[in-house]
């Protein structure tokens, strides 16, 4: 029996962990089943995908359906049922039942829950070509769930299906929380692999020059001591692999903080679900975190400047007003994460918040991903305004362009939400959301929004510093006025500086150093804001080499004038 296993990923670098589990379960049924894994992206041409899937007339095609691809899956199943009427079409994944309910009866079979939990009747019916409409049961109801919960990867996968892709890994399955908006809340229970098993499975993964390993544990640090042990384990592997973890901000011990202070830059990335700092909202969604503890955690981690921090904020949650949403944003901005993910609430089927949608007066899009349009606390006009506010924040903040500016505003700006609302007006006037958000364009918009401030001259210097730290050799037009000519400054330094400066240049390569290096003079006030002590103006040399920071900015050396 020839079976194609299909996932439609968000982008090429993603991979589908589920397909590998499905392959192994199917092939464990005997030699009569042969599988082919096909990983696509949501941008692949629909007609070409249809031709690829129908080629060689497979006996069955299995799809993994999620909220971001269910429309494509639904369309492919409809077309394949016409093109290959004898082919068995099976859909699993979190959106499987929705896809099945949208199709004509008998078009496809829905598998609910984990493939490991499907009983033998499914495979008997599959091999006989006589599938029912629905199969499945909860993984957490299985008595032997820990024994069958193993990594599905084979050695050959790393040179084929996983080549140049992120690798997804489970050290645990399930979530200890029951957030009302999340599909994980539909099932209770968490299963953790033994640390010895985690080591063996990671040994296999790390033997293949892996670039990114994404732990998909819903709350990786729900058992702090176990999480710490795995962190120590993954750092034993040589190389530059980036490990991604979803963590709860209130489950980090002092011992964990001490260890994280030793992690080299660029090895760990944390996704931290804050969602809101508004007490009534957190209670309504059953999110049991203390905003004060979350602030301390993220702020301490950010101060290490070695772990890339993503902080999540959700627009449209119950009891979240415009004022409280902007307050939640301001609170998260003050924590200084490197990336603020400002997501729009999705009313997913089979979640508690969707069941309560009438009580909360929710209106939503009827098609996936079921984005909210309005609720009892935010009318549609306010929701739209906050959505574009969030988009504005992400455009300007979620990059490496302006880190010193954000640090300055954290110290000086009393109302950062108001600042971004003003910036939004400038962005909309200049059609930011219809054009490419290049560094030059974003910088120009910031200048337009900020140039009337009383501290503008200082801010301009900070913007210049950020610009040159990104490897730019000349200033953009919006920042270039009134500064000393770069050639004159270079000539002055060439005359003043020593013939050789150990660690910077030797007499032999002195001329090359001055040709390749960018120089710019900064005021003592700006230097103080950047964290450098100098009673007088001084010059930064922006070297060709990049530093070891998370942002990979240019190395700099402060030179006296």
Q: What is the CATH number of the domain that holds 188?
A: 3.20.20.70
Q: Do 188 and 335 reside in the same domain of the chain?
A: yes
The reported pTM is 0.94
85 located within any domain: yes
Query: What pLDDT score does 21 carry?
Result: 97
Q: Is 239 left (phi over 0), alpha (psi -120 to 50) or beta?
A: left
170 located within any domain: yes
> What separation in angstroms does the CA of 123 have from each of 28, 33, 63, 327?
10, 10, 16, 53
* H/E stretch holding 227: helix 224-234
Q: Which of 325, 346, 367 is the last residue of a domain?
A: 346
Q: Which of 300, 317, 346 is the last residue of a domain?
A: 346
Q: Which of 108, 141, 174 is the last residue of a domain?
A: 141
63 located within any domain: yes
Query: What pLDDT score does 484 carry?
Result: 65
CA gap 71, 369 in Å, rounded: 10
Picking from 173, 91, 186, the residue whose alpha carbon sits closest to that of residue 135 is: 91
| CATH number for the domain harbouring residue 101 | 3.40.50.280
Distance between first and last Cα of the chain = 78
Query: What pLDDT score does 483 carry?
Result: 67
pLDDT tens-digit profile, the chain (561 residues):
999 999 999 999 999 999 999 999 999 987 889 999 999 999 999 999 999 999 999 999 999 999 999 999 999 999 999 999 999 999 999 999 999 999 999 999 999 999 999 999 999 999 999 999 999 988 988 888 888 999 999 999 999 999 999 999 999 999 988 899 998 877 788 999 999 999 999 999 999 989 999 999 999 999 999 999 999 999 999 999 999 999 999 999 999 999 999 999 999 999 999 999 999 999 999 998 999 999 999 999 999 999 999 999 999 999 999 999 999 999 999 999 999 999 999 999 999 999 999 999 999 999 999 999 999 999 999 999 999 999 999 999 999 999 999 999 999 999 999 999 999 999 999 999 999 999 999 999 999 999 999 999 999 999 999 999 999 999 999 998 766 678 889 999 999 999 999 999 999 999 999 999 999 999 999 999 999 988 899 999 999 999 988 999 999 999 988
552 located within any domain: yes
406 located within any domain: no
Domain range spanning residue 24? 2-141
> What separation in angstroms does the CA of 501 have from each of 249, 268, 498, 510, 522?
46, 36, 6, 9, 21
Q: Do 174 and 136 reside in the same domain of the chain?
A: no
Q: Do 184 and 133 reside in the same domain of the chain?
A: no
Task: At 154, give phi and psi (nearest 5°).
Answer: -110, 160
Q: How many domains does the chain have?
A: 3
Q: Do 108 and 217 reside in the same domain of the chain?
A: no
492 located within any domain: yes
464 located within any domain: no
- On whether the CB atoms of residues 173 and 167 are closer than 8 A, the answer is no
Q: Do 235 and 329 reside in the same domain of the chain?
A: yes
Query: What pLDDT score does 549 carry?
Result: 87
Q: Do 100 and 208 reside in the same domain of the chain?
A: no
Degrees to nearest 5, angle at CA 340 with 412 and 264: 95
> What separation in angstroms does the CA of 423 have from each of 324, 448, 449?
20, 9, 6
404 located within any domain: no
- On whether the CB atoms of residues 290 and 250 are closer than 8 A, the answer is yes
Q: Do 123 and 189 reside in the same domain of the chain?
A: no
CA gap 126, 42 in Å, rounded: 28
Q: Do 251 and 284 reside in the same domain of the chain?
A: yes
Q: Do 25 and 136 reside in the same domain of the chain?
A: yes
Q: Do 174 and 130 reside in the same domain of the chain?
A: no
Report the 3 state secondary structure along 250-274: CCCCHHHHHHHCCCCCCCEEEEEEE
Q: Do 113 and 182 reside in the same domain of the chain?
A: no
Query: What pLDDT score does 546 carry?
Result: 94
Query: What pLDDT score does 141 carry?
Result: 84
Q: Do 225 and 286 reside in the same domain of the chain?
A: yes
């Amino acid at each position: 029996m020839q079976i194609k296993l299909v996932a439609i990923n968000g982008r090429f670098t993603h991979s589908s962990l589920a397909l590998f589990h499905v392959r192994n379960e199917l092939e464990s049924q005997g030699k009569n089943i042969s599988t082919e894994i096909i990983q696509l992206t949501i941008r692949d041409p629909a007609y070409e995908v249809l031709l690829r899937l129908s080629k060689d007339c497979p006996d069955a095609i299995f799809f993994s359906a999620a909220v971001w691809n269910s429309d494509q899956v639904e369309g492919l199943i409809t077309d394949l049922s016409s093109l290959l009427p004898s082919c068995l079409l099976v859909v699993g994944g979190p959106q499987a039942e929705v896809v099945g309910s949208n199709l004509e009866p008998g078009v496809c079979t829905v598998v609910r829950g984990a493939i490991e939990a499907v009983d033998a009747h499914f495979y008997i019916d599959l091999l006989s070509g006589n599938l029912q409409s629905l199969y499945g049961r909860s993984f957490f109801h299985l008595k032997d769930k820990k024994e069958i919960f193993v990594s599905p990867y084979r050695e050959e996968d790393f040179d084929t299906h996983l080549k140049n892709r992120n690798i997804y890994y489970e050290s645990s399955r399930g979530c200890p929380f029951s957030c009302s908006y999340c599909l994980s809340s539909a099932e209770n229970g968490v299963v953790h692999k033994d640390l010895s098993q985690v080591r063996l499975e990671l040994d296999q993964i790390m033997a293949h020059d892996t670039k990114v390993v994404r732990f998909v544990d819903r709350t990786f640090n729900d058992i702090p001591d176990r999480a710490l042990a795995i962190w120590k384990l993954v750092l034993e592997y040589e190389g530059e692999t980036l490990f991604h973890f979803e963590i709860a901000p209130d489950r980090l011990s002092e011992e964990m903080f001490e260890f994280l202070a030793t992690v080299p830059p660029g090895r760990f990335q944390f996704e931290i679900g804050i969602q809101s700092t508004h007490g009534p909202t957190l209670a309504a969604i059953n999110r049991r975190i203390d905003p004060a503890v979350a602030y301390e955690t993220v702020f301490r981690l950010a101060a290490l400047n070695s772990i890339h921090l993503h902080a999540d904020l959700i627009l449209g949650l119950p009891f979240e007003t415009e004022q409280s949403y902007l307050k939640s944003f301001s609170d998260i901005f003050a924590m200084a994460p490197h990336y603020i993910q400002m997501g729009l609430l999705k009313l997913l089927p089979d979640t508690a918040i969707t069941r309560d949608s009438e009580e909360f007066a929710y209106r939503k899009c009827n098609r996936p991903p079921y984005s909210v349009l309005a609720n009892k606390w935010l009318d549609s006009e306010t929701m739209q305004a906050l959505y574009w506010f969030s988009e504005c924040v992400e455009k300007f903040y979620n990059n490496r362009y302006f880190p010193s500016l954000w640090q300055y505003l954290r110290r000086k700006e009393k109302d950062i939400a108001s600042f971004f609302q003003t910036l939004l007006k400038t962005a909309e006037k200049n059609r930011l959301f219809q054009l490419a958000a290049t560094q030059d364009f974003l910088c120009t918009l910031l200048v337009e929004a900020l140039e009337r401030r009383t501290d503008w001259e200082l801010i301009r210097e900070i913007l210049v510093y950020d610009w040159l730290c990104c490897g730019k050799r000349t200033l953009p037009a919006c920042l270039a006025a009134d500064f000393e000519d770069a050639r004159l400054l270079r000539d002055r330094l060439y005359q003043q500086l020593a013939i050789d400066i150990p660690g910077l240049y030797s007499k032999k390569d002195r001329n090359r150093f001055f040709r390749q290096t960018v120089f710019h003079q900064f005021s003592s006030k700006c230097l103080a804001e950047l964290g450098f002590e100098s009673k007088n103006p001084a010059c930064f040399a922006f070297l060709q080499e990049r530093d070891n920071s998370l942002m990979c900015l240019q190395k700099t050396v402060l030179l006296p004038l």
